Amino acid sequence: MMRSLYVKFAAVTIGIMVLSGVIAFFVSNTYYQHSLKPQNDEKNTSIALEMAAFIENNPEITITDYLTNMADVGYQLYLVDNNGQEQFFGAEFRENNLTDTEIQKVLDGEIFHGMVHFPRQTFVTGFFANELKNSIGVPITYQDETYALFIRPDIKLLFNEMHLLFGVLFALTIILSILFVLLSTIYLVKPISRLSNATKQLAKGNFQVKTLETKRKDELGELSTSFSQMAEQIEKNDRLRKEFVSNISHDIQSPLSNIKGYTNLLSDKETSEEEKNQYTSIINEEISRLSIMTEQLLLLSSLDRDQQIVKKKRINISSQLKNLLMSYQWLIQEKEIMLSYTLPELEIDADPSLLNTVWDNLLSNALKYNHPGGGIDIQLTYTEEQCSISFIDTGIGISDEETKRIFDRFYRADASRTRSVKGTGLGLSIVATIVELHGGTVSVQANEDNIGTIFTVKLPL
């Protein structure tokens, strides 16, 4: 993966560089052809005219001396007279390709603009073309004789160092940028290939993918951070799933072995009638616990599976709570619990049967984990946005440590304190799931002076 991404990225970048180079060349060539070439022609024309004027105004000088001198300063010159007598000064032209008509026109008094008319196909390089055609021609009258003088700057003499300088600059720019592209691509691609490796590790079930660069401030750093968080979440889910399975197995196993033990005792001939009755009721209790647990597990799994399970209706929660309290009346009396409540009329949109499960669990817990003669208070309050239902008991209470875990599946607090109370540890996780599905929250806190517990459910209105 690293290989191909690296090659692709480097190739694309270098390709872009080449393409930009080509485009830049065409654009600057257009600029040269339209703007610089005429300027160059104009400049050289005025130089040629000045040379001609100087010669014409100073007939006493020797024309060959003057032109030799000009050649030394940096010009290539070609002088021809009416009789076809020709002379060259300075560096040689690569091609002497002037036509006779072109020469004749200059002798007849015209100016020859070879530079501006030099063919376009040659691009900017036309500037460097060392050809006689690529020159400026002016007529001269010297000692009553007519001449045609063709000049062009000796590029090699004048610009050789510049030429080299630009060549080196150009070559170095290309080499260095390719080098830096190759290097920076490594830097860019590396975290991606690390992520790819981490993904493979994760797929194999190895969650310890801490080697990722999460210090980077860019998108890749963000991606790495999200990836690490995802890995942590997956690890947590995996751990919970394993715990869940082992908890289920244990919680099914223990009532089953109890049942097995007591059925063995039942078939023992020496067991008295009274003992048999006692064992039967224990067996019945274990069976009903198993049955409650399977029901709760089924409910949890359907809550997990789809959110569609929540069928909301307009319901009056104060009457719903009062009905529930009625059905618990005999249990409350049996435990000699003092019950009080403040339940103003309130209608909300919720799933009646799921919400009833919530109240049922909270109320049965407040009863189960209470002392004989203790108290339970239920408070319903509401504002514009939300309603809040609290179950306040004066029971055995919950330690800070435990409050963090009681909503976990199968979690049951300190066995020594709750030993006498049978339970599955699933009730509160069902409560939390249902409340969450309704967009609400459930929280727990110690009742004042550490006597008992307060569970508060908040639902949006």
Q: Which is nearer to ligand ADP, 142 or 369 (CB)?
A: 369
Closest distance of CB 259 from ligand ADP, Å: 19
Number of Cα atoms under 13 Å in the Cβ half of residue 397: 10
Range in contact with ligand ADP (rule: CB under 6 A) among 54-62, 112-120, 306-314, 419-427: 419-427
Neighbour tally for 130: CB within 10 Å: 16
Q: How many H helices and E strands in the chain? A: 13, 12
E strand map for 274-415: 313-316, 338-342, 347-350, 375-382, 386-393
Which of 366, 376, 457, 459 touches ligand ADP (CB under 6 A)?
A: 366
Task: Say how far apart CA 222 and CA 458 lie, in whole Å.
Answer: 34
113's enclosing H/E stretch is: strand 112-113
Q: Which is nearer to ligand ADP, 101 or 420 (CB)?
A: 420
Neighbour tally for 293: CB within 10 Å: 19
Which of 191, 255, 425, 440 touches ligand ADP (CB under 6 A)?
A: 425
Task: Say how far apart CA 265 and CA 270 lie, in whole Å.
Answer: 9
Instruction: Supply 378's token pair.
Output: 């239920």
Identify whether the C-beta of residue 347 lies closer than 8 Å to the C-beta of residue 314.
Answer: yes
Which of 283, 427, 438, 457 touches ligand ADP (CB under 6 A)?
A: 427
> Could you say whether residue 359 binds ligand ADP (CB under 6 A)?
no
Identify whether the C-beta of residue 454 lies closer than 8 Å to the C-beta of residue 391.
Answer: yes
Minimal CB distance residue for ligand ADP: 423
Which of 138, 286, 453, 459 touches ligand ADP (CB under 6 A)?
A: 453
Strand partners, 152: 76
Range in contact with ligand ADP (rule: CB under 6 A) among 168-176, 204-212, 362-370, 435-443: 362-370
Site for ligand ADP in 384-413 (CB under 6 A): 393, 395-398, 406, 411-413
- Nearest-CA neighbor of 88 among 133, 139, 46, 151? 151
Closest distance of CB 362 from ligand ADP, Å: 8
> Could you say whether residue 375 binds ligand ADP (CB under 6 A)?
no
Q: Which is nearer to ligand ADP, 351 or 393 (CB)?
A: 393
Neighbour tally for 412: CB within 10 Å: 20
Instruction: Supply 354's token pair.
Output: 């799921």
Closest distance of CB 433 from ligand ADP, Å: 11
Range in contact with ligand ADP (rule: CB under 6 A) among 46-54, 191-199, 240-248, 364-372: 364-372
Which of 135, 369, 438, 440 touches ligand ADP (CB under 6 A)?
A: 369
- Please give the single-letter amino acid code of residue 80: V
Size of the site for ligand ADP (CB under 6 A): 22
Q: Which is nearer to ligand ADP, 130 or 403 (CB)?
A: 403
- Nearest-CA neighbor of 398 among 409, 418, 413, 408? 413
Q: Which is nearer to ligand ADP, 440 or 452 (CB)?
A: 452
Closest distance of CB 410 from ligand ADP, Å: 8
Identify whether the C-beta of residue 185 lies closer than 8 Å to the C-beta of residue 196.
Answer: no
> Could you say whether residue 424 binds ligand ADP (CB under 6 A)?
yes
- Please give the single-letter amino acid code of residue 418: T
CA 222 to chain centre: 6
Range in contact with ligand ADP (rule: CB under 6 A) among 37-45, 116-124, 277-285, 416-424: 416-424
Chain residues binding ligand ADP by CB under 6 A are 361, 365-366, 369, 393, 395-398, 406, 411-413, 418, 423-429, 453
